[in-house]
Structure 1
Amino acid sequence: MAGMSVADMAGLFLRPDAPIRIEAFDGSSLGPHDAPVCIQVKNSRAVYYMAEHPGELGLARAYLQGDIDSPQLIPADPYEVFKGLTAVKPYVRRPDPRGLARALATIASHGIRLPHAPAIEGPSRLKRLSEGLVPHSKAGDAATVSYHYDQSNEFYAMFLGPSMTYTCALFDSPATSLEDAQKAKLNLVLDKLGLKAGDRLLDIGCGWGSMEILAARRGIHVLGVTLSQEQVSWGQEWIRREGLEDVAEVRLMDYRDVPETGFDAVCSLGMMEHVGIKHYPQYFAEIFDKLKPGGMLLNHQITRTNSYVGKSAGPFIDRYIFPDGQLASPGEIETKIHDAGFEVVHEENLRQHYALTLHHWNANLRSHWDEAVALVGEPKARLWGLYMAGCALNFELNTIQIHQYLCVRPGSDGTDAYPLRPWWDAR
């Protein structure tokens, strides 16, 4: 590009001593050859993406298309590059307005271009609203859940493994296998809920049915509901294959439409991210009404670390991963649980466990990379590697957490029916 080079443009935002190297298609470069991280700008489309959407959305578009890359990067698991980039953050600076104007003039001198977004990108919030998809309405939730989960069961199996469990696992140690850790998590939930054979469990956002299988093997009567047809098909077939139809069921149904009540317990594992913060009171009220007095809720969800940051997902997560997703802080959630009439019996943070879980998923994707690319295309395979590695790093940095709340619906005579001390193995 005439005028400023790509390296010059990058230099507007980076101090000269930043521990990063930039190499661009125009032959320009910035930073030492031995920098711990090297970012390659492969073509002009990457520049136009960044000019149109500076920040995470422009970067994501360029990365998913292969317009930016790194010699150190493994597309199935870009964690190490992300970790290296965290060291660059203190060296980022606000660009000089005159330099920024010159950069924009250089780009414009080659023509005003708005390159198409990757084909896998979902619609913006404004576009969804224009189509009548009100956030967290029944229609809006059905559309956004389908967008994320109705991809390909075969693709999800490549990184989730045989358990098909898409939530945080529970590790005794970093050496614990993913399958053992996922089984331990499901058993922990059932143990915390104090369920025994013959009891009734409602699983909200049941995924592919792993909870249904394990609970049914214990003799617990379990109903799982999800808004994903792909998950329902998988779960129903799994139940039939195990011969558990008399105690387990998976339905394509909004949790608000479940007609049954009087459950001994309700679990919700990784579903609250889709609910929307202003709908928390309705959500907990619905669960309260579905439980019998003395019944228990286990709510398991990703949270913000504090209450003063924004609640809604950024443009990358909103368009590519969880449309309309929102996260609240642990204290805000617990307040809503109490306000709904529940008593919180126990709460714990499994943040480190989710980082380990995500590293296992990235490793699984890496081992199935060629198959994944053949099945869903490289942009989508890159997307899941990017998303999972980024989440792993954010859990490690304590930017996000994951909390389990064990709650009881009080009876008319109070809630002193549960034991004085924890009744489950806390390992």
Structure 2
Amino acid sequence: MTTFKDSPLHAGGDAASTGRMTLAQIFESLMGGDLTIRITAYDGSSAGPEDAEFGLDLKSSRGTTYLVTAPGDLGLARAYIAGDLELVGAHPGDPYGALRALAADLHFSRPSPLVLANIARSLGIEHFKPIAPPPQEALPRWRRFAEGLRHSKARDAEVIHHHYDVSNTFYEWVLGPSMTYTCAVYPELEASLEAAQENKYRLIFEKLRLKPGDRLLDIGCGWGGMVRYAAHRGVRVIGATLSAEQAQWAQQAIIDEGLSDLAEVRHSDYRDVTETGFDAVSSIGLTEHIGVANYPAYFKFIRDRLRVGGMLLNHCITRPDNLKNGRAGSFIDRYVFPDGELTGSGKIISKLQDIGGMEVVHEENFRDHYAMTLRDWNKNLLEHWDEAVDEVGEGTARLWGLYMAGCRIGFERDIIQLHHVLATKLDDKGGNDLPLRPWWNA
């Protein structure tokens, strides 16, 4: 087979500059190197190895428009979620293998102006006119001001609704019985997802030095996994979530498990919790939603809710450095976590230290554990694919398969990480009463 670099489709090639190009040729010319995947398109054209394990199949003219009007991950996601682009060789419930192969090929080059002009002529002007995206897509950032300023209470409530109020039934199939939508901690490689989620709660409970009779505030509590774990061990717990469906599910689980005297989950913004004097605060998967600029206010809020000697455990997805802009990419921002922001663990630690009165005593990275967690969530979705499609529609189900498999690759490649940061509230002389060495069972 003729390779890309040897073909007339290379950026400066005469045929690419002057002859009408097929859709597969356009793909090949833009991807900037030898293909390891197979590309096929509705115009009958193809490119790449015929025996490739995975491929891309562009099925419709609408898909071409999505790809042209939103180059990069957003256009690919739109076409895939709408069903106009297929990952050949992979099930949409778990497209991990195909995404890994595709990621190896996605090194988009910038063709010469002549090639770009020929691509435009070959496609036709109609494909450069934007069309409505799939209904699962959130508004772009600049159009969200109708919902309030970024990270205002009203806008935070709307973006949390966008992601979390999909369907409790759907989440039960994907997350499993624990209904835990945060990174698990696997005690060994062969551990089940349920064992790993139980182990995560056990680890956080021990890090926070909780004991019967203590008071815990769980901010962004989701379906109440940490709330119920602590309450079963005699801790009095308040959980807060902006998702109405999460709060309803969690409150019913509290009743069903006989924990009403100890536990409560509120449908509220964490900023509306007025109680103080907590022995511990757990923030498991919320910091990603509050905005980097709001870290100081967030950590001050937590500090002011703790008693002297109280503990904070912050569990958060992070970047591997502290340099990049905190905002998520287009696909994540439009389809997964609108207004979400990530930064490095160093910035989280420094912002926590800078507010005064809090001492960071430990941090650790669970990057590999999150890749394993996403693997198991994809497996659950695959096993319940038909039910999931019936419950939320094929587009939403495809979105979730794509998002989880893509994030798994991100954790595996150290594009994103997951960190625990443990801190304590000091007394007015800078003292604490902690043991000299870590007190939990790792």
TM range (shorter): over 0.9
Q: Which secondary structure does the structure 1 equivalent of 2:88 belong to?
A: coil
1:401 aligns with 2:417: yes
Residues matched between the structures, number: 423
What do the CA deviations read for 1:131-157 (whole angstroms, capped 9, x no partner)?
Answer: 142110111111111111111100100
Cα distance in 1 for partners of 2:273, 2:128 equals 52
Find the partner of 1:87 among 89, 94, 104.
104
Q: CA deviation at 1:18?
A: 2.4
* Contact 1:78 1:389 (C-alpha < 8 Å) held by counterparts: yes
1:246 aligns with 2:261: yes
Find the partner of 2:435 among 398, 401, 419.
419
Higher alpha-carbon deviation: 410-419 or 51-60 = 410-419
What do the CA deviations read for 1:76-106 (whole angstroms, capped 9, x no partner)?
Answer: 011001111232246x432222111111122
* Contact 1:12 1:96 (C-alpha < 8 Å) held by counterparts: no
Cα distance in 2 for partners of 1:155, 1:236 equals 18
* Pairs within 5 Å for 1:197-276: 197-276=212-291
1:181 aligns with 2:196: yes
Q: CA deviation at 1:318?
A: 1.0
Amino acid of the structure 1 residue aligned with 2:394: E
Amino acid of the structure 1 residue aligned with 2:118: R
Cα distance in 1 for partners of 2:252, 2:126 equals 56
* Pairs within 5 Å for 1:218-367: 218-341=233-356, 342-367=358-383
Distance of aligned partners of 1:16 and 1:231 in 2 relative to their CA distance in 1, 3 Å threshold: closer
Q: CA deviation at 1:3?
A: 3.1
RMSD: 1.4
Distance of aligned partners of 1:41 and 1:215 in 2 relative to their CA distance in 1, 3 Å threshold: same
What do the CA deviations read for 1:360-417 (whole angstroms, capped 9, x no partner)?
Answer: 0000000000000001000000001111111111000000000001100101243331
Query: What is the aligned partner in structure 2 of residue 377 from structure 1?
Result: 393
Cα distance in 2 for partners of 1:219, 1:8 equals 65
Q: Which secondary structure does the structure 2 equivalent of 1:190 belong to?
A: helix
* Contact 1:16 1:31 (C-alpha < 8 Å) held by counterparts: no
Q: Which secondary structure does the structure 1 equivalent of 2:237 belong to?
A: strand
1:39 aligns with 2:56: yes
Gaps of 5+ in 1: none
What do the CA deviations read for 1:106-152 (whole angstroms, capped 9, x no partner)?
Answer: 223557543321112111111111x1421101111111111111111
Q: Which secondary structure does the structure 1 equivalent of 2:209 belong to?
A: coil
Cα distance in 2 for partners of 1:108, 1:85 equals 26
Cα distance in 1 for partners of 2:364, 2:62 equals 45
* Contact 2:374 2:407 (C-alpha < 8 Å) held by counterparts: yes
Q: CA deviation at 1:425?
A: 0.1
Q: State percent identity of aligned pairs.
A: 51
Amino acid of the structure 1 residue aligned with 2:283: S
Cα distance in 2 for partners of 1:109, 1:202 equals 56
Amino acid of the structure 2 residue aligned with 1:238: A
* Contact 1:41 1:67 (C-alpha < 8 Å) held by counterparts: yes
Cα distance in 1 for partners of 2:436, 2:123 equals 68
> TM-score normalized by structure 2?
0.93
Query: What is the aligned partner in structure 1 of residue 20 from structure 2?
Result: 3
Cα distance in 2 for partners of 1:385, 1:154 equals 16
Distance of aligned partners of 1:288 and 1:101 in 2 relative to their CA distance in 1, 3 Å threshold: same
* Contact 2:64 2:127 (C-alpha < 8 Å) held by counterparts: no
* Contact 2:90 2:98 (C-alpha < 8 Å) held by counterparts: yes
Higher alpha-carbon deviation: 112-121 or 181-190 = 112-121
Cα distance in 1 for partners of 2:67, 2:186 equals 40
What do the CA deviations read for 1:274-328 (whole angstroms, capped 9, x no partner)?
Answer: 0000000000000000001111100000001112223101111111111100001
Higher alpha-carbon deviation: 58-67 or 31-40 = 31-40
Query: What is the aligned partner in structure 2 of residue 19 from structure 1?
Result: 36
Amino acid of the structure 1 residue aligned with 2:317: I
* Contact 1:196 1:218 (C-alpha < 8 Å) held by counterparts: yes
